[in-house]
Amino acid sequence: MSNIDEKLQPILDQVLRRNAGEAEFHQAVTEVLESLGRVVAKHPNYLDRALIERICEPERQVIFRVPWIDDRGEVRMNRGFRVQFNSALGPYKGGLRFHPSVNIGIIKFLGFEQIFKNALTGLPIGGGKGGSDFDPKGCSDNEVMRFCQSYMTELYRHLGEYTDVPAGDIGVGGREIGYLFGQYKRLTNRYEAGVLTGKGLVYGGSRARTEATGYGATYFVQRMLETRGNGFEGRRVVVSGSGNVAIYTIEKVQELGGKVVACSDSSGYIVDEEGIDLDLVKEIKELGRERISKYAARQSRAHFVEKGSIWDVPCDVAMPSATQNELTGRDARALIANGVIAVGEGANMPSTPEAVRLFREAGVLFGPGKAANAGGVATSALEMQQNASRDSWTFEQTERRLADIMHGIHDTCAATAEEYGSPGDYCLGANVTGFVRVAEAMRALGVI
Ligand code: NDP
Ligand code: 2IT
């Protein structure tokens, strides 16, 4: 049973009914509505004009067929999605995920989280998300290109720098954004750089965007740790995943003096008690697009664990940076028993509700994804700023803005949690701060 205010329960019931079978979307909406009881008690006018019902309903959902031809000449078919969830604060903004598990419920959960995350950045961006059940693993470069071109051939009509601005997520990195931007440019005959973010530096990308999500999550956790006296220096850290977010989390944690002893991919995890050799991880995952087990084959002091949970590796700080619900109640118990002091979510919704509850009860510092991983989309908004002004900032300038934004998000979430009577509850702080910003804009804009 959820812990929901009685005025919000009928709204949640309606969301669950209307979106039957969309488990991840139910989970994301429940988690936010659980935080809003105290807000509507203080400001009942947020219940007026079906404002909360409207926040839970996407403004527009696009689902389309994506046919493409593989290297053997066979026709393949995938499903494409774009959920344009909320544009009260700015154009829809959020990544594209290419992974075989993608369905409408997953895109809606991601789009819903994105609304509040983007509001937390303080930058003018609404919330959206998209993707496809296309699996890039094992595809040649030409196959990925043909898929991206077909995907954009439908999606381009729904995009624009003032309308909807996608970026990367799982399975979508610099290579895919390049092919998507190329096809958009060709179809529209416009060099509209601000229509996509995460672009390469040679054609309008921003410095520090590749690093931004991982760096930002690390800044957020550093700030949380400082509330208890010290930062990453000398800490044992476990980071799940070995993709974009995980790699740049490891990089910044190491720079701040932490020791990352384990990381993973969908095939298992590696442990290196001397500290992960990040150059080797980058060579295997970023350049080679290979399996993480290769790390243990190349580095004899490390070992690979095929089955089992990375959260069994003892650590002071855990940073789940792979995918949703990868850290369960069982994993949280193991982390707590091993003395974890902080958890920072690099991924979106990686901890199950039971895990979040256990961390809260144990007094573990917990940075929820919509706050801790907001550095990626924040830097995307900085990329849009650079594109709009036809400018290009230095790495230092961009990273400084990112660090300031992350510290600001941390401090605002902490202050809101305090104001609402739950000091240290970053989930409450993030949900309430994000909600209030979007709700204020929606009230001003009328019933639309
Ligand atoms: P990548 O595709 O670069 O890397 C994803 C990593 O997670 C890979 O190591 C992958 O393993 C692993 N993984 C993916 N799906 C699963 C699964 N179902 N089970 C186990 N492992 C899995 O993606 P990102 O690093 O960009 O994204 C990681 C997380 O961070 C996602 O939750 C994403 O939504 C979130 N995020 C990303 C942002 C960004 O800017 N990129 C911004 C904010 C949040 P394998 O290689 O075996 O597939
Ligand atoms: O989940 C996320 O915030 C992202 N995948 C990044 C979105 C973006 O528009 O940069």
pLDDT in tens, 79-115: 999 999 999 999 999 999 999 999 999 999 999 999 9
Q: Which amino acid is at 264?
A: S
* C-alpha closest to that of 232 among 218, 246, 251: 218
pLDDT at residue number 2: 63
Which residues are CB-neighbours of 348 under 8 A, at least 6 positions away?
109, 110, 113, 324, 369, 370, 373
φ, ψ dihedrals at 39, nearest 5°: -70, -45
Which residues are CB-neighbours of 374 under 8 A, at least 6 positions away?
117, 118, 120, 121, 216, 405, 406, 409
Model confidence pLDDT, tens digit, residues 31-72:
999 999 999 999 999 999 999 999 999 999 999 999 999 999
Spot the catalytic one: 129, 199, 259, 285. Answer: 129
Q: Is the pTM of this model over 0.95?
A: yes
Angle, nearest 10°, between helix axes 9-18 and 23-42?
160
Instruction: Establish whether domains 60-192 and 212-372 are of one fold.
Output: yes
Strand-pairing partners, residue 265, are: 268
Q: Is the CB of 324 within 6 Å of ligand 2? A: no
Q: Is the CB of 376 within 6 Å of ligand 2? A: yes
**Residue ranges per domain, the chain?**
60-192, 212-372
From the candidate CATH numbers 3.40.50.720, 2.60.40.10, 3.40.50.300, 3.30.70.260, the one assigned to the domain spanning 212-372: 3.40.50.720
Q: How far is the CA of 260 from the centre of ligand 2 (A)?
A: 24
Q: How far is the CA of 376 from the centre of ligand 2 (A)?
A: 6
Tell me the C-alpha distance between 25 and 109, whole Å.
Answer: 4
Model confidence pLDDT, tens digit, residues 230-279:
999 999 999 999 999 999 999 999 999 999 999 999 999 999 999 999 99
The residue to mutate among 106, 125, 169, having the most atoms of ligand 1 within 8 angstroms of its beta carbon, is 169
Ligand 1 atom nearest to 99, measured from its CA: 15
Concerning whether 129 is annotated as a catalytic residue, the answer is: yes
Instruction: Report the run of H or E that residue 76 belongs to, with start and end.
Output: strand 75-86
Tell me the C-alpha distance between 334 and 4, whole Å.
Answer: 28
Task: Map tokens 């384990």 to a residue.
Answer: 262
| CATH number, domain 60-192 | 3.40.50.10860
Tell me the C-alpha distance between 287 and 187, whole Å.
Answer: 30
Q: How many residues does the chain have?
A: 448
